[in-house]
Amino acid sequence: MDYASEQIAGVDEVGRGALFGPVVAAAVILSDEAIEQLVAQGMTDSKKLSPRRRLLLMKQIRELAIGFRVGMASVYEIDRLNILQASLLAMRRAVLGLPSTPQFCLVDGNQRIPNLLVQQRTVIKGDQSEPAIAAASILAKVWRDQLIVRLDQRYPGYDLASNKGYGSAKHRQALQELRPTHQHRLSFAPCQASLLSD
């Protein structure tokens, strides 16, 4: 790959397995110096970091990045397209929203982003091996978590602030008792099942 890091965007998404809320992606372009600094600070896959560490790294990424953008696909789009296509749509929106178009994208997972006129390579577990993807995973995770915490105030009773929209026991119990909200993914089995229960 003959591209300088300044021409490469790392892309990742979060929230694919959640029952509630949008799927969120981020695209990040980092210089070699920024990568060095962030890796020295312990940047890795967002799932391996504490919430406090993610927040600190997110602030540093935003300060050091050449460019970054968050993109999302709504619950309506998830239910209409399916979660995979909605995730890829969120990724495409993140890349297209960057202040400058990268020459190359490193995409977490095994699915290329469709309808993107930028060369790309998929990297399975890329958030563990590619710093730009790790940075994208942190930005997307923090952004989505903060959104779900805000939505918890609008949709109380589902324990969203702690489960971040994923199917915890409390969340599933609340689905049975309170029924799904407009932000629940009705194409997902636990949300469907709650509509069918007595």
- Please indicate, yes or no, if residue 34 is contained in any of the structural domains: yes
Asked if residue 1 has pLDDT above 60, the reply is: no
**pLDDT given at position 38:** 96
39: domain CATH number? 3.30.420.10
- Please indicate, yes or no, if residue 60 is contained in any of the structural domains: yes
Q: What's phi and psi for 26, nearest 5 deg?
A: -135, 150
**pLDDT given at position 118:** 95
**pLDDT given at position 197:** 64
- Please indicate, yes or no, if residue 77 is contained in any of the structural domains: yes
d(CA 147, CA 140): 11
- Please indicate, yes or no, if residue 64 is contained in any of the structural domains: yes
Q: Nearest-CA neighbor of 158 among 143, 170, 147?
A: 170
- For the range 155-160, what are the long-range contacts, defined as Cβ-Cβ under 8 Å and sequence gap of 24 or more? 155/20, 155/181, 155/183, 158/20, 160/20, 160/21
- Please indicate, yes or no, if residue 178 is contained in any of the structural domains: no
Range of the domain at 106: 5-146
DSSP 157-170: TS-HHHHTTS--HH
- Please indicate, yes or no, if residue 187 is contained in any of the structural domains: no
Total domains present in the chain? 1
Q: Which residue has the higher pLDDT, 38 or 45?
A: 38
Residues 78-102 have pLDDT tens digits of 999 999 999 999 999 999 999 999 9
**pLDDT given at position 45:** 86
**Distance from the Cα of residue 182 to its chain's centroid:** 20
- Please indicate, yes or no, if residue 88 is contained in any of the structural domains: yes
Residues 97-117 have pLDDT tens digits of 999 999 999 999 999 999 999
DSSP the chain: ----GGGEEEEEEE-TT-SBS-EEEEEEE--HHHHHHHHHTT---GGGS-HHHHHHHHHHHHHH-SEEEEEEE-HHHHHHH-HHHHHHHHHHHHHHTSSS--SEEEEESS-PPTT--SEEEEETTHHHH-HHHHHHHHHHHHHHHHHHHHHHHHSTTS-HHHHTTS--HHHHHHHHHH---TTB-TTSHHHHHHHH--
**pLDDT given at position 196:** 82
Q: Which two tokens stand for residue 26?
A: 């981020």
Instruction: Report if pTM > 0.85.
Output: yes
- Please indicate, yes or no, if residue 130 is contained in any of the structural domains: yes
**pLDDT given at position 6:** 83
Residues 133-164 have pLDDT tens digits of 999 999 999 999 999 999 999 999 999 999 99
